Amino acid sequence: MAMEGKHKTLVQLVGVVVVMGALAWASVPFYDWFCRVTGFGGTTNSADAGSDVILDQTIKVRFDASLERDMPWTFKPVQRVMEIRIGETGLAFYEAHNPTDRPVAGSASYNVAPYAAGNYFTKIDCFCFEEQVLMPGETVSMPVSFYVDPEIVKDREGKFLKEITLSYTFYEIDLPEAQAALTQPTETKETEPSNEG
């Protein structure tokens, strides 16, 4: 009986570990999905085209840029503030520069503030959708096109918003394999002097 009880307890413990591992694995995609659907945490939406409705009401969009501590680039918005009509497609640019003597790859995380605006801020195209690679000394201008969904004026919190801040943080990532291969020094095989002659 005692052995049977120990076996049952062991099976239960293994079951708990498996369930906890599955929950931990599923929590990241679930949280990402939840944030995208609700705008929680300032997560934005994306769309293939602009809004069909443009209101006379305007809203200010502020642009913010930062870098993770070890990211060697410089990164800034070209224009700090833009006033657009709600539903109108806006186009903003950020500038990044790689002052180092090596290629550097980066990826941008983003959010909007206040968080209530996240569900209504919609990106059509953005540099943040892809990894960026800057060659030594290279400077690039990176676009983001967006609109503020007209549904914001029906939201109990959103209808009072006069300003939204779009923030990006760039962090360094590993170079894509193709670029990494180009930066590796090629090995040259030295030929030994012959003893002939």
Question: Which pLDDT value is given to residue 39?
Answer: 41
Q: Rounded mean pLDDT of 47-75?
A: 92
Given a contact cutoff of 8 angstroms between Cβ atoms, the answer to whether 78 and 64 are in contact is: no
User: Which has the higher per-residue pLDDT, 46 or 184?
Assistant: 46
Residues forming beta bridges with residue 145, ordered by sequence position: 91, 125
Q: Where are the domains of the chain?
A: 2-30, 42-174
Question: Which pLDDT value is given to residue 44?
Answer: 63
In the chain the beta strands, taken as DSSP E runs, fall at 45-46, 58-67, 74-77, 81-85, 90-97, 104-113, 121-126, 132-134, 139-148, 163-173
Distance of alpha carbon 23 from alpha carbon 20, whole angstroms: 5
Given a contact cutoff of 8 angstroms between Cβ atoms, the answer to whether 127 and 91 are in contact is: no
Q: In what order do the strands lie in the sheet with 104-113?
A: 81-85, 58-67, 163-173, 104-113, 132-134
Question: Which pLDDT value is given to residue 181?
Answer: 58
Residue 108 tokens, joined: 């941008």
Distance of alpha carbon 118 from alpha carbon 42, whole angstroms: 4
Q: Rounded mean pLDDT of 96-120?
A: 93
Residue 86 tokens, joined: 């709600």
Question: Which pLDDT value is given to residue 144?
Answer: 94
Q: Is the pLDDT of residue 157 over 90?
A: no
How much is the mean pLDDT over the chain? 81
User: Which has the higher per-residue pLDDT, 44 or 134?
Assistant: 134
CATH dotted code for 42-174: 2.60.370.10
User: Which has the higher per-residue pLDDT, 197 or 82?
Assistant: 82
Q: pTM to 2 decimals?
A: 0.67
